[in-house]
Amino acid sequence: MSILVQNETHDVNRQSWVVSANSATCEFPIQNLPFGVFRKAGSQDVFRVGVAIGDQILDLYQVGRLGLFSGIVQQALEACASPSLNQLMAQGHVSWSALRLALSRALESGSALEVELVNCLFPQSEAEYALPAQIGDYTDFYTSIHHATNVGKLFRPDNPLLPNYKWVPIGYHGRASSVVISGQDFARPNGQTLAPGAQSPTLTPCKRLDIELEMGVFIGAGNNRGDSISIEAAEDHVFGLCLLNDWSARDIQAWEYQPLGPFLSKSFATSISPWVVTLEALAPYRVALERAAEDPQPLAYLNSASNTTHGAFDIELEVLLQTEQMRNAGLAPEKLIQTNYRHAYWTVAQMVAHHTINGCNLQSGDLFGTGTLSGPTLDQAGALLEITEGGKSPITLANGQTRTFLEDGDEVTLRGWCQHQKGPRIGFGTCIGRVLPAIARG
């Protein structure tokens, strides 16, 4: 796994000539350099690829036109002339790594390229964002054993985990067309629900609207149909991670999910953050896979020494809620959840290896969701369904309002970051969405 190797781009003492990147609270220091797609807010400009540095965006389309680089780096920059990351993703991890190294050197304090690159900066405060890539397929996994156990207890108190959970990374194919960028609001979904005691369903707006705190995994270079990707090579096919909120209509889900799984309860909206943090940037924050000693060892195609010792990521995650009443009163969002990605039962590499073991062909820009990332205690649960024990234990907010599930006007913010005691903060930005009233149907 070459992506595990640290290099000069990870030097905690490295500073940038972009002064805002050197702040201790900055989420986008020179050690991060996440990729996204942006344009001037409110304009009709073509979206372009950029890298976040401090409170600025380095416009890679403009950088490529300057002719400052050559070889594989220039080829990578030419791929960034596209209004999405797909072409860059398809070039593979050697290309991404070379570009990241070149940009790190160019943005470092004292770089001779400052005088030319300063004109390629654009303020993040003036930007709007598009999806980082054209997403051909979206697969949502179920990688948190704590989430699976908490939800299973609601329906099977004596046997919450199904027999296959500790053997296979569970997933289902979601709807790529309804993946939206952070900041896009959505209407409460309508669907069939079966009220308690009723004999037949009705078409109604969802009454049990939930969040799911997840990470998104963007596939870089894909594989040919019929081939599989080994666990040792899996991370070479992963471009990077983002934040993901898989909004869920629990009452619609309860009626529809048997026998084939989620459908309309999930396909109305999935929000992702605009910045994709590369696996290489996350190399210093790799940790051992958490798995109980008495649990079965994964089958050989899902197992490797490197995956066991470094397969997980130490990423802090939190969820904030701001109700309409809070917003009108000028109150800041309130933290509901804080947990960590390190608690996941299945790793990124295992998701990729399992997804392709049957010969399934992944493509550049495909998106995986990790599934709800809950920690070992209920205060680290990643969904309201868990926190409120299926709606039986409402949350009381600081302003006196209560919530079992989301109400119209509620705005949810996901945040994520990595940080060692003496190292820089590697942030993912925010993933924000607001619930609007349902649109009348039928």
Active-site residue list: 147
d(CA 131, CA 271) in angstroms, rounded, equals: 10
Residue 393 is given by DSSP the state S
Structure tokens at 101: 């190294």
d(CA 171, CA 266) in angstroms, rounded, equals: 13
Over the range 247-260, which residues count as b (16 or more CB within 10 Å of their CB) and which as e? bbbbbbbebbeeee
3-class DSSP state for residue 252? helix
**Backbone region of residue 333 per phi and psi (left: phi > 0; alpha: psi in -120 to 50; beta: other values):** beta
| Contact present, 339 and 373 (Cβ < 8 Å) | yes
Structure tokens at 232: 């040792």
Phi, psi of 97 (to 5 degrees): -65, -40
3-class DSSP state for residue 284? helix
Name residue, tokens 């649990």: 295
Name residue, tokens 């964002």: 129
Q: Is 158 exposed, middle or buried (0-12, 13-18, 19+ CB in 10 A)?
A: exposed
3-class DSSP state for residue 115? helix
d(CA 20, CA 25) in angstroms, rounded, equals: 10
Residue 169's CB is within 10 A of a number of other CB atoms, namely: 23
Over the range 348-375, which residues count as b (16 or more CB within 10 Å of their CB) and which as e? bbbbbbbbbeeebebbbbbbbbbbbbbb
d(CA 278, CA 280) in angstroms, rounded, equals: 5
d(CA 342, CA 339) in angstroms, rounded, equals: 9
